[in-house]
Amino acid sequence: MTFALLVQSAIIGTSLGSIYILMALGLTLMFGMMHIINFAHGAVYMLGAFVIYYVFFQGGAPYFAAFVVAMIVLGIFGYLVERSIYRPIRGGIEPTLVALIALTTFLQAAGYPVFGQLDKHVPPVFPGTRNILGVGISIERLMIIPIAAALVVALYLFINRTRLGAAMRAIEQDKEAAALQGVNVNVVNGLAFAIGFALAAASGALMAPIFKLDPMMGEQPLLKAFIIIILGGLGSIPGAILGGLMLGLIDSIVATALGAEPAFLLSFVFIILLLLFRPTGLFGYAP
């Protein structure tokens, strides 16, 4: 593998990792607070991409306006899912999982009659390529990195510098104690759902102009997000960031060097080895 090829695949891997991070952040946030694995995350990613298709491509709105619309609409949807599904059956992890799987199946199945049977596409928002260290990289992919980084910083500031963020951290540590201190657990859980869904929608919205759109498009990113949160440690935000970057780089560099199949296998081998030595993942902790 030449140096140029290594640089090119590392940049592509970083951009891919940025998307993985956004997907995994929402997932790990919800797991950390409520101990649920949101199986609907992939379907929300898909819906975020379709909001871009309709609002930006079909509706003619500016891309970033459509991006914000996707996050807000799916954020509200997340809050409604918390109210209508999670809250009524709270306490039962299995019923919640089953309900979220049912929601995913419904959204994917409804996608075909609603969005059509053929793959959809969104035209490029940032066309062209840029030469970096002698290699060409699509500007579209480069732009993912700062946008994802901005969202990660915004989430970090929200969780660490605001009262609602402090309430989230309190619930994550001890839900009963947080409630005794006056934290409205219902409202904060609803907010966590909204943020988680909005981040998944942001990932889908970022990928819409790069890939094609279909109702099943969220399955692969969801699988990657699961791998990342296990790798980084369930419930750990720094773990999701590091895990996302590592997986993006493995996917890109190993696949470039050895092929797509070895890269896919290697990501699992890497996780198995890591979990043998650190069963809680990179930044996870034993309950």
Partner 1 sequence: MRSRSSLVHAALLAVAGLVAAGPGSARAADVIKFGVSTPLSGPAAPWGIPHKQATELIFEEINSQGGLEVGGKKYKLEVIAYDHKYVIAEGVATVNRLIAKDGVKYLSILGGAVVKANEEAVNEGRVLNLPLAYADGLVSPKNPYTFHSFPAPPETSTFWKWIKQNHPGLKRVATISPNDDTGWWSIKVETAFIQKLGYETVAKEFFERTMTDFNPVLLRILAQKPDIISVLASPAGSVGLIIKQARELGFKGRFIHIGQVDTSVVANIAGKANVEGTWVHGFVQAPLPEKIKSWQARYTKKYGEWNATSIDFANPAFAFVAALKKAQSVDPKKVADALSIVEFDNLWGKAHFGGKDYYGVGNQIIYPMPFSEVKDGVATLVVQRAPEGLDEPRKLK
Task: Name the residues that contact partner 1, by CB under 8 A.
Answer: 2, 5, 8-9, 12, 16, 112, 117-119, 121, 123-124, 129, 136, 138, 140-141, 211-212, 214-217, 219-220, 251-257, 259-261, 263-264
At a CB cut-off of 8 Å and minimum separation 6, what does 212 contact?
Answer: 119, 120, 121
Pick from 279, 277, 22, 40: nearest CA to 153: 22
End-to-end CA gap in the chain: 43
- 3-state secondary structure at position 217: coil
| Whole-number Å distance between alpha carbons of 223 and 228 | 9
- 3-state secondary structure at position 124: coil
Pick from 48, 31, 76: nearest CA to 284: 31
* 232, 239 contact by CB (below 8 A): yes
- Helix count and strand count (H, E) for the chain: 12, 2
Phi/psi class of residue 122: alpha, beta or left (left: φ > 0; alpha: ψ in -120 to 50)? beta
